[in-house]
Amino acid sequence: MNPGSIRGSRQSNSRTRNTADLPLHGGRAPRWLFERMVKLARIITDYIFTEFGAPELLKRLTDPFWFQSLGCVLGFDWHSSGLTTTTCGALKIALADLGPGAGVYALGGKGNASRRIPDDITALAERTGFTPEPFIYTSRMTAKVDSSGLQDGYQVYHQLFLFMPEAKQWVVIDQGMNTDTGWARRYHWGYEALPSFVIDPHAAIQGRRGLEVLNMVTSESMGSQERSVEIASDIKHFQKEFVRIRHLGLPARHRVDLSDLDTKRVNRVFLETFERPPVDFEGLLARPGVGPATIRALALVAQIIFGERPSYEDPVSFSFAHGGKDGTPFPVNREVYDHSIEYFSSALGRSKLGYTESNRALRRLSRWLEEVSIVR
């Protein structure tokens, strides 16, 4: 394990699915809607902080169904890829509005915003006084696992990194896209539920029909992981077998695609790796320059040499609160939305002053809705 990483222990043996598949949709949230999403997100977040504490928000954000429900309540399109990016954007602004007193920071977003996360963590650490390296490592490793350790056909283009520096707690929400299939996949990571970055960090990963998945971060691939580390430390052995594979003329149905493996580039990466051999697979995956092509090459060579095969397996009702951007299940009702913001803002103010009757009523309503959904 890399000493710079942050992780927690699993609280139970139960596993829950922590990914969500969503169709890729274009378009943006209109300004009038996004401004309301930020306001309601700020109220909901502050309410959770007041009633349950900041760690509860991080815990809930690891649940893809809760996050999807949050996005639906905020009024974005109930099932599109934009729900992830827009909800994350609203949440990021809402947390910034609440200020450092909340103790939770949100960094990242789409494209360049996600690539700036390490620099933003460093800048924040200089202002507030915490050690940035473990959080930077966590951000990079989660993105690397979702793009290289797990190759399920989705190119990661978004990351929201939420963390509490003093408590050393964090949550990551990554999203990848596959433009060929028109689908996106969201990955949820959390401090408490993470057994390892490279051994079953995801639960029930499953590729969409027609996609071939290389999962080097499952327990079923541990043998392949170990052999990959051995091969990365023996450059001559690797080069010999890799050249052989390139000339085998494997059939098109082979699960690992060799067409985009650049021999010269892969060799260059391994020459650098050979000088400082990794201790384990996590160390290998964390190495700069080690990407999807390198991991696929290692998996192939490990299979050829050692016979170690990697694994190839890979909440809509809330939309009725305010409607959806695209008119599903109905257009967003601005009057109702504003009333919700006003009502919950007022209830939050009373809660902070110690008046709890509104909260008790909301809890009763929540329990009733849960019982109704169970009956259905």
d(CA 137, CA 189): 14
Helices 31-52 & 54-61, crossing angle to 10 degrees? 120
CA separation, residue 58 to residues 113, 168, 177, 216 (Å): 20, 12, 24, 27
Pick the residue with more confidence: 253 or 177?
177
Given the structure tokens 């990351």, which residue do they identify?
159
Pick the residue with more confidence: 18 or 310?
18
Least confident among 87-91, 253-257, 266-270, 288-292: 253-257
**Residue 335 DSSP SS3:** helix
Backbone angles phi, psi at 84, to 5 degrees: -65, -55
Model pLDDT for residues 29-73, shown as the tens digit of each residue = 889 999 999 999 999 999 889 888 999 999 989 888 888 888 888
Mean pLDDT of the chain: 76
Closest alpha carbon to 319 in 333, 306, 308: 333
Bridge partners, 67 (sequence order): none
Pick the residue with more confidence: 69 or 276?
69
Averaged over 75-88, what is the pLDDT?
81
Given the structure tokens 């541990």, which residue do they identify?
222
Query: Could you tell me if 6 and 191 are in contact, meaning their C-beta atoms sit under 8 angstroms apart?
Result: yes
Q: What is the pLDDT of residue 290?
A: 80
Q: Which residues contact 7 (CB under 8 A, 6 or more apart)?
A: 1, 191, 194, 195, 196, 197
Query: Which range has highest mean pLDDT (144-158, 249-263, 320-334, 342-356)?
Result: 144-158
Least confident among 111-115, 247-251, 282-286, 344-348: 247-251
**Every domain of the chain and the residues it spans:** 19-212, 220-306, 333-375
Beta strand ranges found along 84-154 (DSSP E): 105-110, 150-151
Q: Which residues contact 53 (CB under 8 A, 6 or more apart)?
A: none
d(CA 335, CA 328): 17
Model pLDDT for residues 185-228, shown as the tens digit of each residue = 899 998 876 778 998 886 444 445 445 678 888 888 898 888 88
pLDDT band of 259, cuts 50, 70, 90: very low
Given the structure tokens 């909301």, which residue do they identify?
362
Q: What is the pLDDT of residue 11?
A: 36
pLDDT above 70 covers a percentage of the chain that reads 66
Q: What is the pLDDT of residue 20?
A: 77
**Residue 359 DSSP SS3:** helix
d(CA 74, CA 83): 9
Pick the residue with more confidence: 295 or 141?
141
- Given a cut of 50, whether residue 255 has pLDDT beyond it is no
Positive or negative, the CA dihedral 258, 262, 268, 273 is negative
Model pLDDT for residues 352-371, shown as the tens digit of each residue = 766 555 556 556 555 554 55
Total H helices, total E strands in the chain? 14, 7
Q: Which residues contact 137 (CB under 8 A, 6 or more apart)?
A: 2, 4, 5, 6, 286
357 CB burial (10 A radius; 0-12, 13-18, 19+): exposed
Q: What is the pLDDT of residue 375?
A: 41
Model pLDDT for residues 93-120, shown as the tens digit of each residue = 999 999 999 999 999 999 999 999 999 9
Query: Could you tell me if 313 and 255 are in contact, meaning their C-beta atoms sit under 8 angstroms apart?
Result: no
- Given a cut of 50, whether residue 81 has pLDDT beyond it is yes
Least confident among 48-62, 73-87, 159-173, 315-329: 315-329
